[in-house]
Structure 1
Amino acid sequence: MTNADTIIRTLREKFGYSQEVVANFLGVKREMISYYETGAREAPLEVLEKLADLFGVDLDIFFSDTMEAASTELAFAFRANEFNEKDLESIAAFRRVIKNYQRITNLEGKNA
């Protein structure tokens, strides 16, 4: 199991999403999420990009050396008992905006 596999599972569980919910968001079968989480299949870059948006983390979290390093990247946690695919798309879009805002703020701070 690679770090990306562990991180995908850890983030999914941390946010309270089932494999089925994440699979629907990605447009894949639930089994694919299980394969990604067990290391049976490597998640393609496009999938990792969508997961980064969904979880509100930078893409490089999936390439971190340790889960501790990855954990420092966690930002906004949305938990819900009932949500649909449209809700997840909105959450992912919101988190993408927040990530971009944080990047701009960090760049402005470095240039000040």
Structure 2
Amino acid sequence: MKIENRLKELREQHKYTQDDVAGFLNISRQSVSKWELGKGYPDIDNLRRLSDLYKISLDQLITGEEKYHTQVASDSTDSNESDHKTVGDFLWRHWWILFPILGVISTWLYY
């Protein structure tokens, strides 16, 4: 399926008007119309926003099918803190903490 048909199909499935999509993307309605007519294509930022709007992956947005079913873990500090089990992993992630520790040790050794 061509991307212009896919964009129109998704917009209609979600019962959005071209004005609704344009408002979400902060662009003109004419841009959305051009995309759906195949006279232009959205840039990568707008493709990403469209995938957010329609709650689908970029792959699904562009091709209409999901090719990869693996989920990528997010890089938030809360979910990954338990993953770092060795001292080396901790130091790699929090290398900056060595500076105050070394400062305290050098002050202690100096006196």
TM-score, L = length of structure 2: 0.57
Structure 2: runs of 5+ lacking an equivalent: 74-111
2: CA distance between counterparts of 1:7 and 1:49? 15
- State percent identity of aligned pairs: 29
Q: Is the 8 A contact 2:3 2:62 kept in 1?
A: yes
Does 2:28 match 1:3?
no
- Residue 103 of structure 1 aligns to a residue whose secondary structure is coil
* Structure 2 partner of 1:24: 23
Structure 1 portions without partners, runs of 5+: 65-69, 74-101, 106-112
- Structure label with greater radius of gyration: 2
Q: Is the 8 A contact 1:23 1:30 kept in 2?
A: yes
Letter in 1 for 2:13: K
Q: CA deviation at 1:31?
A: 0.5
TM-score (norm 1): 0.56
Q: Give, in whole Å, the separation in 2 of the partners of 1:40 and 1:7.
A: 14
SS of 1:23 mapped into structure 2: helix
Partner of 2:78: none
Residue of structure 1 in register with 2:71 after alignment: 103
Q: In the aligned structure 1, how far is the partner of 2:6 from the partner of 2:28? A: 19
Counterpart of 2:56 in structure 1 is: 57
1:77 aligns with none
2-structure distance, mates of 1:45, 1:5? 15
Aligned-residue offset at 1:104: 5.3
